[in-house]
Structure 1
Amino acid sequence: MLKSLDIYGQRNTLKIVVALNLLLVGTASLLYTNRLVEKLEAREESSVKLYAKALFNVYEVNVNDDMTFMTDEIIFANKKHNVPAIVLDQNNKIVFSNIEFPKGTPDDEIKRAEELELAEMKKEHQPIVVEKDGKIQGYVYYHNSSILLQLRFFPYVQLAVMFTLGFLAYLAFSSARRAEQNRVWVGLAKETAHQLGTPLSSLMAWVEYFRTDPAIDQSIADEIEKDVNRLETIATRFSSIGSIPTLKNEDLAETVHHFVSYLEKRISTKVSMQFESLIPDGKQVMINKLLFEWVIENICKNAVDAMKGVGKLTIRILPLPRNEIAIDITDTGKGIGKANLQQVFNPGYSTKKRGWGLGLTLAKRIIEEYHNGRLFVKSSEVGKGTTFRILLRDSVVSEEPVLEGNKTAKSA
C-alpha cells in the first residue's frame, strides 16, 4: 500500500523545536516571576502592618522623641515605596490616607475619591487589624505597590514580546526560504527549457525526414509531431516560469476539448474519457492557454493515477450564477480521506512512490494567482472517486458578446 510522502514535512520539526523552547522559557519565566511576586506581596503586607502600627503610635500622646522619629521614618518609607493605604479607626472612619491629590483639590472631592479607593482596596485585600493591649485600634486597607503590579504583569509582557519576535523571525525565515526556493525553481525551469531546445530541433528534423520516406506510415509521423509540439509547449511553460503570464481571450471549451483529445490517446485504454460543455458555443475567457492546459493536465494525470489506469474520467464545463464558469474533473478512483483533503495542495504531498508532489500545488497557484480563480476539491468519497473544481471568477470572464448556442456535449 502506498504511503503519503511529504518531502517538506521534516522542516516543520525545527519550527516545533523553536516553539517548544519559547514555551519552555516563557513558562519558566512566568513561574519564577510568580514566586517573586508572592514573596514581595508577603513582604509588603508585613511592611503595611508595621506602617499601621507606626501610624497609631504617632497618635499616642505620650511618645518619646526616639519613638516618634522611628515611626516617622516607617511612614516615610511606606510612602516612598508607593504602597497606597487608608487607615480607619475602630469605628470604620477614615483617619488617614497616603494617597496624594493635586494641590487645591476640594475636601469633598478628596473624600469621595478616598471612599472609592477604599471600596477597591476591600476587594483586593483583607484589612490589617491593629491591636494594642487586646483592644482594636483600627484597620488598614491597602493596594499592592506599583512595582509589584509591574512585576506581576512582566512575564506576560515578556511572553508576548518573545512570541512576537518569534513570529516575526518565522515570517522572515519563511519569506527568505520561499524567495530562495523560487529562485532555485525559476533557474531550474529555465535551464530545463534551454536544455530541451536542442533535442526538440533534432526531433523536428526527424519528423520531416519521416514525411519524405514513403515507407513510413504518415499517421505515425503525425503523432510524433504532436508529441514534439507537446514538448515544445512544455519547454515554453518552463521558460515562462518566474514571469507574469499574459492572458488572452480563448475559447474555453475548445481549449479543454483539444487537450482532452490529445491526452486520450496517451493514457491507458482502460480509462474512458468524457468531455461535456454546457456553456454557449464560442464562449471566451481570459486565460493563458499554455498554463491553463498545464492545470488540466496535472489534474487529469492525478486522476488517472488515482484510478490505477482503470476507470472513467469526466470533464464538464458549466455556467454558474454571476457570470462564473466551473470546470469539474471527476474520476472513479480511490478518493481522498477527510484527513488529507487540506493537504492535497501542499508542496511535497504525494501518494506515489515517485513524485515530487508539486503538480496540484502548481495548478492551484496558476489558477488562483494568475487567473484570479479558485481550484479546490468539490467532493470526494473513499473508494468512489473525487471531483476537482476549477472556478473562473468575474474578473477573468470576458465581457464581450459571445455566440449564443445550444448546450453541447462532446465526447473525446
Structure 2
Amino acid sequence: MLKSLDIYGQRNTLKIVVALNLLLVGTASLLYTNRLVERLEEREENYVKLYAKALVQVYDENSNEDITFITDEIIFINSKNQVPTIYVDENDKIIVHNFTFPPGTPDEEIDLELEENLAEMKEEHQPIVVETGNKKRGYIYYHNSSLLTQLRFFPYVQLAVMITLGFLAYLAFSSARRAEQNRVWVGLAKETAHQLGTPLSSLMAWVEYFRTDPAMDQSIADEIEKDVNRLETIATRFSSIGSIPTLKREDLYETVHQFITYLEKRISTKVKMHVENYLVDGREVKINKLLFEWVIENICKNAVDAMGGIGSLTIRLLPLPRNEIAIDITDTGKGISKANMQKVFNPGYSTKKRGWGLGLTLAKRIIEEYHNGRLYVKSSEVGKGTTFRILLRETVVGEEPALESHKTIRSA
C-alpha cells in the first residue's frame, strides 16, 4: 500500500509547536497572576483587621485618648485605599462606614445604599469581629478593593489577548505561506507555458509536413493535430494561472459532454464513462471553458487512478434550488477515508509515488476563486467509490428555472 505524501507536513508541525508554546505561556501567566491575587486578598484581609483594631481604640471606653490621632490616620488610609467597609454593632446597626456620597444626597438614599452594600458584603466575606470592651462586640464587613477585582479578571484578559495574538500570528503565517505557494505556482505555470511554446510550433510544422506527404494516412495527421491542439490548450491554461480569467456563458452539458468524449479516448479502455444530464435545455453557466475543463480532467484522472484503470465513471448534471447547478463525478474506486476527505485538497497531498499533490488543489482554487463555486467530497466509502461535487451558479436566460427537468443519459 502506498503511503500518503505531505510535503507541507513540517510546517504543520511548526504550527503545533507554536500553539503549544503559547498555551504554556498563557497557563503559566494565569497561575502566576492568580497567586498574586491570593496574596493581595490575604493582605487586604490583614489590613481590615488592622482597621478593626483601630476601631477598638476609638469605641472602647477604656482606650487611651492619646493614640486617637493614630487610629484616625489608619481609618483615613483605609478610606483612601478604597477597601469598602461597614462596621455594625451586635444588632446589625450600621455604626460607621467609609463610603462617600455626593453632597446633598438624602439620608434615606444613603441608608438604602448602605443596606444593599451590607447585604452584598455578607455574601462575599466572613465578618471580622471587633471586641470593644464591656463584653460588647461589633462586626466589620467589606468588599474587595477595585484593584483586587481588576486583578481577578486580569489573568483571563491576559489569556484572551495571548490567544488573539496567537491567532493573528497563525493568520499571518498562513497568509505568508499561501502567498509563497501562489508565487511558486504562478511562476511555475507561466514558465511551463513559455517552455511549451517552441516545441508546439515545431509540432504544428510537422503536422503540415505530414499532410503534404501522399503516403501518409491523413487520419493519423488529424489525430496528431488534435493532440497538438490539446497541448496548446494546456499551455493556455498554465498561462492563465495568476491572471483574472474571462468568464463566458456556456452550455454546461455540451461543454462537459464534448470534453468527456475527448478524454475517454485518452484514458484506459477499461473505464466506462457516462454523462447523465438532468438539466433543462438552454440553461447556461458563466465559466472559463479552458480552466473548467482542466478541473473536470483533474478529477476524472484522479478517479481513474483510484480505480486502477478499471471501473466506471459517471458525471451527473443536477439542478438545485436558488439557481445552482451540481456536477457530481462518481467513481467505483478504492474510496477515501473520513480522515483524508479534507486532506485531498491540501497542496502536496498525494497517494501516488510520483504525484505532486497539486491537481485537486488547483481544481478547488479554479472553482472557488475564479468561478465563485464550491468543490468538495460529497460522499465516499472505502472500497466502493467516491463522489466529488462541483457547485456553480446557473445563468438564467429569459425566464426563471423550471422545477421540472428531463434526463438524458448518454455514453461519452
Same fold (TM over 0.5): yes
Q: Are 2:100 and 1:96 aligned?
A: no
- In structure 2, give the amino acid aligned to 1:85: T
Comparing 186-195 and 343-352, the one that deviates more: 343-352
Once the two structures are superposed, residues 258-301 of structure 1 have per-residue CA deviations (whole angstroms, 9 ceiling, x without a partner) of 11111111111111112232334454322110011011001100
Residue of structure 2 in register with 1:303 after alignment: 303
Contact kept? 2:132, 2:138, Cα under 8 Å: no
Pair 1:401–1:164, CA change in 2 (3 A): closer
Q: CA deviation at 1:343?
A: 2.2
Contact kept? 1:129, 1:136, Cα under 8 Å: no
Residue of structure 1 in register with 2:53 after alignment: 53
- In structure 2, give the amino acid aligned to 1:305: D
SS of residue paired to 1:391: strand
Separation in 1 of the partners of 2:197 and 2:252?
29
- In structure 2, give the amino acid aligned to 1:359: G
Separation in 1 of the partners of 2:296 and 2:253?
12
Residue of structure 2 in register with 1:227 after alignment: 227
Separation in 1 of the partners of 2:307 and 2:287?
29
Residue of structure 1 in register with 2:40 after alignment: 40
Separation in 2 of the partners of 1:181 and 1:22?
26
Pair 1:282–1:215, CA change in 2 (3 A): farther
Residue of structure 1 in register with 2:214 after alignment: 214
Once the two structures are superposed, residues 149-182 of structure 1 have per-residue CA deviations (whole angstroms, 9 ceiling, x without a partner) of 2222222222122222222222223223322322
Q: CA deviation at 1:193?
A: 0.7
Q: Are 2:236 and 1:236 aligned?
A: yes
Residue of structure 1 in register with 2:339 after alignment: 339
SS of residue paired to 1:103: coil
Q: CA deviation at 1:401?
A: 6.6
Q: CA deviation at 1:304?
A: 0.2
Q: Provide TM-score, normalisation by structure 2.
A: 0.94
Q: Are 2:27 and 1:22 aligned?
A: no
Q: CA deviation at 1:132?
A: 5.0
Q: CA deviation at 1:320?
A: 3.0
Separation in 2 of the partners of 1:194 and 1:156?
56
- In structure 1, give the amino acid aligned to 2:235: A
Q: Are 2:123 and 1:123 aligned?
A: yes
Separation in 2 of the partners of 1:196 and 1:136?
103
Q: CA deviation at 1:148?
A: 1.5
Residue of structure 2 in register with 1:408 after alignment: 408
Separation in 1 of the partners of 2:292 and 2:128?
79
Q: Are 2:79 and 1:79 aligned?
A: yes
SS of residue paired to 2:344: coil
Pair 1:203–1:39, CA change in 2 (3 A): same
Contact kept? 2:348, 2:358, Cα under 8 Å: yes
Residue of structure 2 in register with 1:13 after alignment: 13
1:11-410 aligned at under 5 Å gives the runs 11-132=11-132, 135-394=135-394, 397-400=395-398, 407-410=407-410
Separation in 2 of the partners of 1:330 and 1:191?
34
Separation in 1 of the partners of 2:360 and 2:347?
8
Q: CA deviation at 1:312?
A: 0.8
SS of residue paired to 1:312: strand
SS of residue paired to 2:166: helix
SS of residue paired to 1:137: strand
Pair 1:21–1:134, CA change in 2 (3 A): farther
Once the two structures are superposed, residues 161-218 of structure 1 have per-residue CA deviations (whole angstroms, 9 ceiling, x without a partner) of 2222222222223223322322222122111111110011011111111222233322
Separation in 2 of the partners of 1:201 and 1:238?
17
Count of matched residue pairs: 409
- In structure 2, give the amino acid aligned to 1:254: E
Contact kept? 1:57, 1:63, Cα under 8 Å: yes
> Which structure 1 segments of 5+ residues have no match?
none
SS of residue paired to 2:355: coil
Q: CA deviation at 1:303?
A: 0.3
Q: CA deviation at 1:140?
A: 0.6
Separation in 2 of the partners of 1:283 and 1:219?
35
Separation in 1 of the partners of 2:134 and 2:304?
94
Separation in 2 of the partners of 1:230 and 1:308?
24
Separation in 2 of the partners of 1:135 and 1:35?
39
Pair 1:45–1:266, CA change in 2 (3 A): same
Separation in 2 of the partners of 1:134 and 1:234?
104
Separation in 2 of the partners of 1:75 and 1:195?
88
Identity of aligned residues (%): 80
- In structure 2, give the amino acid aligned to 1:116: E
Pair 1:319–1:157, CA change in 2 (3 A): closer
Q: CA deviation at 1:248?
A: 0.9
Q: CA deviation at 1:349?
A: 2.1
Over the residues paired in the alignment, what is the CA RMSD in angstroms? 2.1
SS of residue paired to 2:172: helix
- In structure 1, give the amino acid aligned to 2:156: Y
Contact kept? 1:249, 1:398, Cα under 8 Å: no
- In structure 1, give the amino acid aligned to 2:288: N
SS of residue paired to 2:216: coil
Contact kept? 1:56, 1:137, Cα under 8 Å: no
Contact kept? 1:247, 1:287, Cα under 8 Å: yes
Pair 1:239–1:134, CA change in 2 (3 A): farther
SS of residue paired to 1:104: coil
Q: Provide TM-score, normalisation by structure 1.
A: 0.94
